[in-house]
Structure 1
Amino acid sequence: MRLRDAFLLAAVAALASGAPARGQELTGTLKKVKDAGAITIGYRDSSVPFSYLDGNQKPVGYAYEICLKVADAVKAHLKLDKMEVKLNPVTSATRIPLIANGTIDLECGSTTNNPDRQKQAAFTNTHFLTATRFVAKKDKGLDKTDDLKGRTVVSTSGTTNIRQINEINTARSLGMKILPAKDHAEAFLMVETGRADAFVMDDVLLASLVAGSKTPDAYTISSEAQSKPEPYGIMLRKDDAPFKAVVDEATAALYKSPEGKALYEKWFTQAIPPRGINLKLPMSEAMQKAFANPSDSPDPAAY
Structure 2
Amino acid sequence: MLAQLSSAADTLERIKKTNTINIAFRETSLPFSYLSENKTPIGYSIDICAKFVDAIKKELKLPQLKINYIPVTSDTRMEAMTSGKADIECGSTANNAERRTKVNYTLPHFFATIRMMVFADSSIKNWQDLKDKKVVVTKGTSTDKYLLERDKVRSLNMKMVESKDHTESVSMLENKQVDAFAQHDAILAGFKARSRLRDKLVIVGDPLSSEAYAMMLPKGDAAFKKLIDMEMVRMMTDGELTRLYEKWFTKPVQPNGVNMTLPMSVLLRETIRFPSDKVD
Q: TM-score range by the shorter chain?
A: over 0.9
- Matched with 2:169 is 187
- Matched with 1:272 is 253
TM-score (norm 2): 0.94
CA distance in 1 between counterparts of 2:249 and 2:136 reads 25
How far residue 236 of structure 1 moved from its aligned partner, in angstroms, is 0.7
CA distance in 2 between counterparts of 1:42 and 1:128 reads 18
Aligned length: 273
Alignment of 1:162-177 (within 5 A): 162-177=144-159
Q: Does 1:63 align with 2:63?
A: no
The gaps in structure 1 that reach 5 residues or longer are 1-25
Q: Give the aligned CA root-mean-square deviation in angstroms.
A: 1.4
Amino acid of the structure 2 residue aligned with 1:213: S
More strand by share: 2
3-state SS of 1:298 partner? coil
Q: Paired residue for 1:46, among 7, 19, 28?
A: 28
Q: Does 1:145 align with 2:145?
A: no
CA distance in 1 between counterparts of 2:159 and 2:169 reads 14
How far residue 54 of structure 1 moved from its aligned partner, in angstroms, is 1.0
Kindly indicate whether the alpha-carbon contact (under 8 Å) linking 1:130 and 1:204 is maintained by their aligned counterparts in 2.
yes
3-state SS of 1:296 partner? coil
The gaps in structure 2 that reach 5 residues or longer are 1-7
Kindly indicate whether the alpha-carbon contact (under 8 Å) linking 1:143 and 1:224 is maintained by their aligned counterparts in 2.
no
Amino acid of the structure 2 residue aligned with 1:129: F
CA distance in 2 between counterparts of 1:288 and 1:256 reads 11
How far residue 171 of structure 1 moved from its aligned partner, in angstroms, is 4.0
C-alpha spacing 1:142/1:73, structure 2 compared with 1 (3 Å):
same
Alignment of 1:4-153 (within 5 A): 27-153=9-135
CA distance in 2 between counterparts of 1:289 and 1:65 reads 21
Amino acid of the structure 1 residue aligned with 2:274: N
Amino acid of the structure 2 residue aligned with 1:62: Y
Amino acid of the structure 1 residue aligned with 2:215: I
Larger radius of gyration: 1
Deviations 1:252-300 (A, max 9, x none): 111221222111111001111121111011223322111222221231x
CA distance in 2 between counterparts of 1:37 and 1:178 reads 45
CA distance in 1 between counterparts of 2:276 and 2:214 reads 10
How far residue 71 of structure 1 moved from its aligned partner, in angstroms, is 1.0
CA distance in 2 between counterparts of 1:219 and 1:287 reads 27
Amino acid of the structure 1 residue aligned with 2:66: E
- Matched with 1:6 is none
Kindly indicate whether the alpha-carbon contact (under 8 Å) linking 1:115 and 1:298 is maintained by their aligned counterparts in 2.
no
- Matched with 1:251 is 232
Amino acid of the structure 2 residue aligned with 1:122: N
List structure 1 segments (4+ residues) > 4 angstroms apart after TM superposition.
Answer: none
Q: Paired residue for 2:189, among 207, 222, 225?
A: 207
TM-score (norm 1): 0.87
